[in-house]
Amino acid sequence: MTAPVMVELSPAGRYATAGRRSGRAGDASRVRVACSGCGELLTGALHHDSKVAPGAVWNSSGAVATVPNAWPLPAGPPAMGGTCPGATPACSGCYAAALETCYGGLRSMVAGNGDAISHALQCGGIGTAAALLTAAVRRSVELQRADGVTRPVFRWHSDGDISGPQYARAMRRAILATPTVEHWTYTRTLGAVRMFHNVPGLRLYVSADRFNIRAAARVAARWDRPLAILADNDTDARELWDVVRDTVGDAIPAPVTCPAAGRWQHDGRGPAHIVGPDGRRATLQRGGLAVGACAACTICLPVGRVRSVVFLRHGTARDALGSLQRVRVSS
C-alpha cells in the first residue's frame, strides 16, 4: 500500500514579485466582451486568492493577493444555482460555498461571472463564452506581469466547477489561446475530463472523495489524469488510495499530500496557504512579501512532476469564518 508523502517545494523565484502592487479597485480585475448574439456587454471579474496567487503580502488583514489570477463561479449543484454537476455528499461542507455565504463581495462576484457565462453560452454561443474567458486570462497575465511575475499562472475555478460540455469547450479554447500561461484546475465533472485530453499548458486533476472514488479513478485512468483526493486525515487518505489501486491498479500516479492542507497548518509560521518570497516557509514574515502556496509548490501546475494529490479536509462550513483571510475579493 502506497501512503501519501509530503511535497518538496520547487524554487519559487520564477514566480516571485518585484514588490509592486497591482490595482484592486474599480475595473482593474474586470473584463468586458460584447455578446455576438445581441451586442450586450458581458462583464467578468477575476479573483484575488492568496493561496493560488504568484504574489501576496501578509499584513494585519491576513494574506492578501497582489494580483488576481483565478476565475470563480458559483459553488454548489446546479439545482441550487451552482456550477458543480458532479457534487457529492462530501461537498456538503464546501468551504467555497460557506465563504460565499459569509462574504458578500465574493457572492456578488461569482454570481456575476455565472450570469455572464450563462448569457454568453445561450445567446452568443461557445465563441462568445470563449472570448470572455480568454479576455479574463489575458487580463490576469497583464496584471501579473505588471506585478513582476515572469511566468504567469492561472487557476480555473477557485470557486465552482465546469458546469457542462458547452462551458468546457469554451474553457478549452481559452486555454489554447493562451499557451504561455500555466493553467491548472480540479473537477468533479467527470464527463468533461475527456474534452481536455492532450491540451498543452493545462494540469487537470480529477477530484475524488469517498462517494465517487471508483468512478473518478476510472475516468482519471482512461484519460491519463492524476487524482485530487479529498480525505479527512492520513488514515482516510491511505484507505481511499487502496480503493484506487483496487479499481485501476497502478494506472494513476501515486499521491503526495498538499502541505498547505497538512503540515503547514501546524508549523506555527503563519497562514498555511502562503510561503516566503523565495518559496520557503522559513522566510515568511508578517508585513513582508509572500507567494501563494500553489504557485510556489508547483506540484499541481504543468511545470511540476505529475503526481496525484491528497487534500486533507481543512476548510468546511464549520470553520469558514476562520478561513476568510484566505480570500481577497476585487469587485
3-state SS record for 11-35? CCHHHCCCCCCCCCCCCCCEEEEEC
What is the overall mean pLDDT for the chain?
88
Given pLDDT bands bounded at 50, 70 and 90, which one contains residue 275?
very high
Domain count, the chain: 1
Domain that holds residue 51: 5-328
- Give the pLDDT score at 95: 83
Indicate if the pLDDT at residue 56 is higher than 80: yes
- Give the pLDDT score at 93: 82
* 257 DSSP β-pair partners: 6, 310
C-alpha span between 110 and 275 (Å, rounded): 27
C-alpha span between 67 and 71 (Å, rounded): 12
b or e along 90-119 (b: 16 or more beta carbons within 10 Å of the residue's beta carbon)?
bbeebbbbbbbebbeebbebbebbbebbbb
Which whole number is the average pLDDT over 69-92? 96
C-alpha span between 319 and 49 (Å, rounded): 18
Residue type, 235: T
Indicate if the pLDDT at residue 255 is higher than 70: yes
101 membership: H or E segment, kind and range: helix 95-102
Which whole number is the average pLDDT over 247-253? 97
What lies within 8 Å, CB to CB, of 259 at 6+ separation is 6, 7, 9, 272, 293, 297
Which grid coordinates belong to 126?
Answer: 461557445
Given pLDDT bands bounded at 50, 70 and 90, which one contains residue 181?
very high
* Length of the chain, in residues: 331
pLDDT in tens, 203-240: 999 999 999 999 999 999 999 999 999 999 999 999 99
- Give the pLDDT score at 314: 61
C-alpha span between 66 and 148 (Å, rounded): 10
| Helix 126-146 × helix 104-119 angle, to 10° | 140
C-alpha span between 277 and 279 (Å, rounded): 6
